[in-house]
Amino acid sequence: MLQTGEIADLAVYNLDGRRVAALNRDAAPGEQVSIWNLESDSGEPVSPGLYFLRLSAQGVSVSRKILVME
């Protein structure tokens, strides 16, 4: 859980390392839930394949793989 004043970045990246979607826009401090609608930030559906979810906060980053299937 984030404390007051802490900033976290939760985003989806493709295999090329390009940011596909930001998931935590305007997040308030505290516990958060994010749902990715499988669209890029531009509103286009993403292609099936492997993506990475990365959470960065307080100088620490954690990544997890996401497999998007048709």
Q: Residue 62 in 3-state DSSP?
A: strand
For 9-36, what is each residue's pLDDT tens digit? 899 999 999 999 999 766 666 777 888 9
Which pLDDT value is given to residue 48?
97
Ordered by start, the domain boundaries in the chain are: 8-68
**Which pTM value belongs to this model?**
0.82
Q: Which among 9, 21, 16, 13 is positioned nearest to 45, based on CA atoms? A: 21
Query: Which listed CATH number (2.60.40.4070, 3.40.630.10, 1.10.10.10, 3.30.565.10) goes with 8-68?
Result: 2.60.40.4070
For 50-66, what is each residue's pLDDT tens digit? 999 998 887 888 999 99
